[in-house]
Structure 1
Amino acid sequence: MITGIHHVQLTIPTGAEREAKGFYCEFLGLREIEKPESLKGRGGFWLQVGDRSVHVGAEDDVERQKTKAHIAYAVTDLGHWKTTLRENEIEYTEGIPIPGYDRFEFRDPFGNRVEMIQAL
């Protein structure tokens, strides 16, 4: 029986951890958490998002720009994020409307699709 989601993984190019931490930890404000010792040698890092985690793994030869796969971050102030992205010259597009939510999406510096979603 599936009872929930433990974590989500996205990927960055091998060796891009510093830039990725700048985006995910400094820009988005997510907190890095310790990876288990057994996984530290594989590159990447982990992030705390609410009561779940996002695993940022290192992987080459992936066309991240061509996929619809993404993470949707639940936010409390969608307008804040639109303003922040505009101020940092990051383009975003409005999401297709779904009942009860407002949302938009953009690509991280590595091409991963990111969605910000707010309950109405």
Structure 2
Amino acid sequence: MIIGLHHAQITIPPDQEERAKQFYCGVLGLEEIAKPAALAGRGGFWVMAGDRQIHIGTENGVDRMRTKAHLAYQVEDITDAGRKLAEAGIEVLDAVPIPGYERFEFRDPFGNRVELIQKAD
């Protein structure tokens, strides 16, 4: 029945869109894409992660620090990614090891849990 994953969505507080663009597009390097005109007035923005869309929507009243839910982004150079995050003031957290992968976690500036993962050599 399911043939693939089209997109995933995370949320940020409604008044934090520009800050989120600075983080997701600036620090993480994701490319912003246009939302359909029918959805433009709903707030938030969309980005591409490889060939998948990530929808960054707005939502009030959510304690994002209380959930284990997360997106895992595959990276080419996990060491460089960790360095860039540290330079941006983001605390990098160790993740439980998985054979064949290097990975770590962090919380974005809005509390969303994020994982970066790279296949080990």
Quick one: which amino acid aligns to residue 47 of structure 2?
L
Give the Cα–Cα distance (whole angstroms) in 2 for the partners of residues 96 and 5 of structure 1: 25
Q: TM-score, normalising length from structure 2? A: 0.96
Question: Letter of the aligned partner of 2:114 in structure 1?
Answer: V
Q: What displacement does 1:99 show?
A: 1.7
- Contact residue 30 and residue 47 of structure 2 kept, 8 A: yes
Kindly state the Cα deviation for residue 49 of structure 1 after the two structures are TM-superposed.
1.0
Counterpart of 2:29, as a letter, is G
Q: TM-score under structure 1 normalisation?
A: 0.97
2:83 pairs with 1:83: yes
User: Number of matched residues?
Assistant: 120
Comparing 22-31 with 85-94, which one deviates more in the overlay?
Answer: 85-94
Identity of aligned residues (%): 57
| Equivalent residue number for residue 44 of structure 1 | 44
Give the root-mean-square deviation of aligned CA atoms.
0.8
Ranges in structure 1 where 5+ consecutive residues have no aligned partner: none
Partner Cα separation in structure 1 for residue 86 and residue 36 of structure 2:
36
Following TM superposition, by how much is the alpha carbon of 1:88 offset from its aligned partner in structure 2, in angstroms?
Answer: 2.3
2: CA distance, partners of 1:102 / 1:65: 23
Deviations 1:32-88 (A, max 9, x none): 000011111110000011111000000000010110011100001000011112222
Give me the whole-angstrom Cα distance separating, in 1, the residues matched to 2:99 and 2:110. Answer: 30
Partner of 1:33: 33
Counterpart residue number, 1:118? 118
d(CA) in 2 for partners of 1:89, 1:58: 23
User: SS where residue 14 of structure 2 aligns?
Assistant: coil
- The 5 Å alignment of 1:96-115 reads 96-115=96-115
| Alpha-carbon distance in structure 1 between the residues aligned to 2:89 and 2:21 | 19
Poorly superposed stretches of 4+, deviation over 6 Å = none
The letter for the 1-side match of 2:4 is G
Alpha-carbon distance, 1:96 to partner? 0.4
Report the CA distance between 1:92 and its aligned residue.
1.2
